Amino acid sequence: MSDEETDEVEVDEVKTEFRFVLTSAFQYSKEGEQVNAKFIRLQAPTSKCMRECAALKQAFFRAMSDQADGAKTGKVDVDVEIESEDVLAMISMSKTVDLPDLLDTAKELFLMPDIALIDGEHKFKNTLAERMSIDDFQNMFGEYMVNFILASSLKQLKKKSSKE
């Protein structure tokens, strides 16, 4: 394919990282001093964390299916923009998905190397994760789901529904 042809191909831009701003700062040690964490830089997952990502994605789609079943339509509306709050609400209301287990899986993912960095440079360790407010943790989980875990699947569902 020539460069001109490549320019014409429609490519969905994939996000590789985003910054989650904390609403409740927590302290950590940086160069021997206690500092307040301001944000967590989150990286896109790699195949190193395939198990965790698959578990999170599967849980979301099970919860989404529960919602469709509850509405008795049997069909999921893929034209709705899903935001981080929606992810948590949907999972929380699911009869088949265990939110505590899912948050544990998210924590395992965030503790993996190069996934989450406090203030963009400090490794997110278990002792630091435990200092994070539950609201911040859950919101970070929701944002991560929307930005990385679900992004490609939801785009594919939208493309498929627009063809039907």
Average pLDDT score over the chain: 85
Reported confidence tier of residue 46, pLDDT bands at 50, 70, 90: very high
Residue 9 has pLDDT above 60, yes or no: no
Backbone φ and ψ for 84, nearest 5 degrees, come out as -55, -40
Q: Which two tokens stand for residue 74?
A: 């049997």
Residue recorded with tokens 């896109």: 44
pLDDT reported for residue 67:
79
pLDDT in tens, 95-126: 999 999 999 999 999 999 999 999 999 999 99
pLDDT reported for residue 72:
58
CA 108 → CA 11, 25, 94, 102, 139, distances in Å? 31, 21, 22, 10, 16
Q: Which of the two residues, 145 and 163, has the higher pLDDT score?
A: 145
pLDDT in tens, 64-104: 888 777 665 555 555 567 788 888 999 999 999 999 999 99
Torsion angle defined by CA atoms of residues 99, 103, 106 and 111, in that order, rounded to the nearest 10 degrees: -170
Long-range contacts of residues 47-52, Cβ cutoff 8 Å, at least 24 apart: 48/112, 48/113, 49/109, 49/112, 49/115, 52/105, 52/106, 52/108, 52/109, 52/112
Annotated domain spans of the chain? 9-163
Residue 35 has pLDDT above 90, yes or no: yes
By DSSP bridging, strand 116-118 and strand 17-21 are: unpaired
Burial readout 110-146 (b: 16 or more C-beta within 10 A, e: otherwise): bbeeebbbbbeebebeeebbeebeeebbbbbbbbbbb
Q: Confirm whether pTM is higher than 0.75.
A: yes
Q: Is the dihedral of CA 14, 44, 117, 63 positive or negative?
A: positive
pLDDT in tens, 124-160: 999 999 999 999 999 999 999 999 998 877 777 666 6
